[in-house]
Amino acid sequence: MMKRNKWLAVFLVVCAGLLVMAMNPGVFLHAEEAAEAAGNSAGAIRGSNIAFMALSAMGAVSLSCISSGYALARIGSAALGAMSEKPEIGGRALVFLGMAEGIAIYGLIIAIMMLNKI
């Protein structure tokens, strides 16, 4: 149990660090220097929007893949246990595994749609 809490703490610290870096638009894309070189201040706002959009797409993919992996682990182990008792239900188990995999695909689709807005 202690190892699980350790990884949760590491995950939360990394998320907090990314959030702090996202609040400063120059961290990811150096938008302030690019705006000064171009001679306009609209570039800094644009760079900030791009950084937030990239972080949102990253969050959509990462959270959907993590939740899909968790669902696949739970469903897969239960399906193997059920198939050991009744081998004829293997086809039904594959359907449920495919439904859990769809969660990751939906997250990827949302990320692609978000990045096409940039």
What does pTM read for this prediction? 0.59
Residues of the chain with pLDDT under 50: 1, 43-45
Does residue 111 contact residue 60 with C-beta atoms inside 8 Å? yes
Q: State the residue for tokens 């306009």.
A: 40
- The number of folded domains in the chain is 1
Query: What pLDDT was estimated at residue 92?
Result: 87
Q: What is the pLDDT of residue 1?
A: 47
Q: What is the per-residue pLDDT for 106? A: 92
9 near 18, Cβ under 8 Å? Answer: no
